[in-house]
A and B are shown apart, each in its own frame.
Chain A
Amino acid sequence: MPKDHGIGASSKRREDVRFLTGRGRYTDDINLRGQAYACFVRSQVAHGRLNGVNTADAEAMPGVIRVFTGADFEGIGGLPCGWQVTDRHGEVMQEPGHPVLAQGKVRHVGDPIAVVVAETYDQARDAAEAVVIDIEELEPVLDMKAALEDGAPKVHDDLTSNLCYDWGFVEENREAVNKAFETAHHVTTLELVNQRLVPNAMEPRVAIGDFDPGTEDSTLYTTSQNPHVIRLLMGAFVLGIPEHKLRVVAPDVGGGFGSKIFHYAEEAFCTFAAKQLKRPVKWTCSRSESFITDAHGRDHVTKIELALDAEGHFQAIRTETYANMGAYLSTFAPSVPTWLHGTLMAGNYKTPLIYVNVKAVFTNTVPVDAYRGAGRPEATFQLERVIDKAAREMGIDPVELRRKNFITQFPYATPVAVEYDTGDYNATLDKLLEIADVSGFESRLAESKARGKLRGLGINCYIEACGIAPSHLVGQLGARAGLYESATVRVNATGGLVVMTGSHSHGQGHETSFAQVVADMIGIDENMVEIVHGDTANTPMGMGTYGSRSLAVGGSAMVRATEKIIAKAKKIAAHLMEASPDDIELKDGAFTVAGTDKSVAWGDVTLAAYVPHNYPLEEIEPGLEETAFYDPNNFTYPAGAYACEVEVDPETGKVTIERFAAADDFGNIVNPMIVDGQVHGGIAQGIGQALLEGAAYDEYGQLLSGSYMDYAMPRADDVPFYTVDHSCQTPCTHNPLGVKGCGEAGAIGSPPAVVNAVVDALQRAGHTGVTHIDMPLTPSRVWSAMQG
């Protein structure tokens, strides 16, 4: 029987009621008394020398309060980068400045040059059109390989080249890997593009700066996944405001997918301008603006080689990747193609030797950073595609080739620096074959054929590292931050609890699932537990939500804090019942003395904590509030297997997803309904990447796919119902809940399944020369592939 409450129950989401009735409170819903409105003037060219900005006409327009330019920010810090990669030769990466408003040059379409602040939104927009910009256009740097050639124009004049870093991993294995390829029985090579994507959370970014002249406190309301991180980065590195004078609030946030992790110029601008003008300043991003300012994702060009022995055992993997950084280093950009990508190149398989080379390149495009999966989808895609290709070349069934190479003993130390604590890849693959009804494929194939359609089946596995991250480890890898999480549990006198978490919910349903955990631990109703997040003024220092970390790291902090609460409450209960604390048991919200019928209710103990008339004051303090910080000692490793069945129209090349199944091992599950939903959404984003989405630049550096008219978002009629299962559970061995994280899996596991399926369909139809098609698999690309 499914549970109806606590850990393991599909509790309905409490946050839904406000969202369904129009009572959510998103940042753009906030309006402060006396607020002014900001409109950014942005570069319309990809690369140029900024010779002048004339604001005179704009300043004379109705309602204009002030026009800001780069000159206002000359003495102010630039946007910091939170990760420093060390290259193959032991040198640190090249790290260019990233001004709030352009200084001397513009480096991508959308680069902010000036800002008009006016009494109304429309007045600010009207005046922005009157700002005159004098730009001398320069040749744009767009193609990554051309950017590294001698004599290529430079994005940053003060750097030696457009190369951010040339990273080798594991550099010491390089020669051994090369040797393995020289002696290999078979080598499969695949060159591919993991195309640039635009994250497109449905809520565009918003920032509102506020300043209290009385206390000299600054407040920023922003669409962020991690308000404490923004407070630290913006306060310490950009504006010079100490944490105790700066509050950052991220209220209801309409999706993030990584794009709202980063510190953006608009946040710093609004906070700065509010202080200058002594009134609130609000900026609301339009969708068109979001396309050219939100950090993009992916954009890797890769060559992967897989060496196999005669039986199909993997001997070595060698990859060379060009990773686009865009024009500046976004907050965590350097970590994505390196530590979030190279460390996953072992996948689910025993491959003794792996060498990953990544060249990160500056170009005149929007900065690229983490997007759902961040590095792990890129690793999974190339690995699972090259395995399929190798299977075909060697005449081995692709499922059997995977099984033959599965890691089956845990813990398992990979040759790329991580240790998988637990897993069962055969179990998820077996489950997948069952739920995808793979045995029925042949009859569905025949039925498709009868209708004149091609049909294909694609299967792949994936593994990811989440629960980000052990601070000591990421510190060695270049992180300029710790990646623990925090929680304060406050028990009120009448027994209700408030959990103040450093995690942030922007769709994940923490207000429900976190409450389930605490209620389960104490044995009380979930409605007695309130989850507070998103405001640095009332939550402990936390690192926020990304990398499928909230339950694994933030939930663990909450469990630790609740354990402290229970330990203290037991002492109080022991005092009330005149027993030893060691004999006290807590069950169903009541404290009992083992072996007796003595009992006190949860509420009696919490009341005693705050009305300590009969209380062991000499031993413990009054009150019942505890904080815990949790720093994981390893990543978590969700893994699974995905299957996609497609039909291809041989006349047009149009691909339709007919069936999609996912079998995931997320360890223990708190709310199965929410987990299903996370996987569904990830799969749709993966299908979007595989078939529809792509950020396309023209030769001048203009973003061609700059609105929903041109950037093909997956819509309801592009996707089917999905079959998802998470009954295979190997609990994480190192966090108290045994959870692994589920937020990114769908987006990581699904793109190769779709592409494998399309290639399979074409191969079955006799197009044996088609071994790969680059994403997105648009009708024209698929049709062209069929023409040879």
Chain B
Amino acid sequence: MTKVTMTVNGKPVSGEVEGRTLLSQFLREGLGMTGTHIGCDTSQCGACVVHVNGQDVKSCTMFALECEGAEVRTIEGMANADGSLSTIQQAFQDHHGLQCGFCTPGMVMTAAALLEKNPKPSEAEIRDYLEGNICRCTGYHNIVKAIMAASGQDVGAIAAE
């Protein structure tokens, strides 16, 4: 077991981990932060996406020890300081961008990273960026719509609602 220290959502944390312990496992089991979800074992589904030093990564593809000294941000750190939903979270609720909620943390973290890089993405750019995040409930319609709305684009003309 090796000690690892990192900052998660602005708070310093540390724990004893094995070399094989994944970041996703450390967050969930080591820190009890269960907002990050594990939906597959082949780094395909994206339910476990977090930000490491500002970059969106699948936390099942990193060892916890690789994050020594890193700044990690998870879904638990996405709300506004007063606890209210952030713009992207609020857009997901306003536009029904989630159903069972299991893929949602990864979707929100991926969407937030996209909007950092591309503040006004097109529909095609959003769909392309979400390629690594699988949702089985929504058919993606309202997820794409929510991300467009969160970036300040008019979604009134998008079919159906």
In residues 18-63 of chain B, which contact A (Cβ within 8 Å)? 18, 20, 28-29, 32-42, 44-45, 47
Say whether A725 faces chain B, with CB atoms less than 8 Å apart: yes
In residues 1-40 of chain A, which contact B (Cβ within 8 Å)? 10, 12-13, 15-24, 26, 28-29, 31
Say whether A254 faces chain B, with CB atoms less than 8 Å apart: yes
Q: Which 3 A-B pairs have the closest CB atoms?
A: A22-B35, A254-B102, A19-B101
Which of B35, B128, B143 has a CB less than 8 Å from the CB of A23? B35
> Which chain B positions have C-beta within 8 A of A22?
33-36, 74-76, 78, 105
How many A-B contacts if CB must be within 8 Å?
A: 197
Say whether B138 faces chain A, with CB atoms less than 8 Å apart: yes
Interface residues of chain A, those whose CB is within 8 Å of chain B, are 10, 12-13, 15-24, 26, 28-29, 31, 121-122, 200-204, 252-255, 257, 286-288, 506-509, 672-674, 676-677, 680-685, 707-709, 713-717, 719, 721-725, 746
In the assembled complex, the Cα of A288 lies from the Cα of B45 at a distance in Å of 12
Which of A16, A122, A286, A716 has a CB less than 8 Å from the CB of B92? A16
Main secondary structure of the interface of B (DSSP, over half): loop
Say whether B72 faces chain A, with CB atoms less than 8 Å apart: no
- Judge whether A721 and B159 touch: CB under 8 Å: yes
- Judge whether B131 and A122 touch: CB under 8 Å: no
> Which chain B positions have C-beta within 8 A of A717?
124, 127-128, 130-131
Q: Least Cβ distance of B150 to chain A in Å?
A: 12
- Judge whether B96 and A673 touch: CB under 8 Å: yes
Q: Least Cβ distance of A458 to chain B in Å?
A: 18
- Judge whether B35 and A21 touch: CB under 8 Å: yes
Q: Least Cβ distance of B138 to chain A in Å?
A: 5
* Identity of the chain A residue whose Cβ is nearest the Cβ of B39 in the assembled complex: A202
- Judge whether A684 and B41 touch: CB under 8 Å: no
In the assembled complex, the Cα of A255 lies from the Cα of B136 at a distance in Å of 8
* Identity of the chain A residue whose Cβ is nearest the Cβ of B83 in the assembled complex: A21
In the assembled complex, the Cα of A787 lies from the Cα of B137 at a distance in Å of 36
> Which chain A positions have C-beta within 8 A of B65?
none
- Judge whether A12 and B93 touch: CB under 8 Å: yes
In the assembled complex, the Cα of A252 lies from the Cα of B35 at a distance in Å of 12
> Which chain A positions have C-beta within 8 A of B100?
201-203, 252-255, 506-507
Excluding A26-B34, A121-B29, A676-B96, 13 further A-B contacts by CB distance (< 8 Å) are A17-B85, A20-B75, A20-B89, A22-B76, A28-B34, A201-B100, A202-B102, A202-B136, A203-B39, A252-B101, A673-B96, A713-B136, A716-B143
- CB within 8 Å for A20 and B136 given contacts A288-B41, A717-B131: no
> Which chain A positions have C-beta within 8 A of B101?
15-16, 18-20, 24, 252, 254, 507
> Which chain A positions have C-beta within 8 A of B40?
287, 707-708
Which of A18, A508, A719 has a CB less than 8 Å from the CB of B140? A719
Say whether B149 faces chain A, with CB atoms less than 8 Å apart: no
> Which chain B positions have C-beta within 8 A of A506?
100
In the assembled complex, the Cα of A334 lies from the Cα of B95 at a distance in Å of 39
* Identity of the chain B residue whose Cβ is nearest the Cβ of A680 in the assembled complex: B139
Q: Least Cβ distance of B128 to chain A in Å?
A: 6
Say whether B142 faces chain A, with CB atoms less than 8 Å apart: yes
- Judge whether B44 and A709 touch: CB under 8 Å: yes
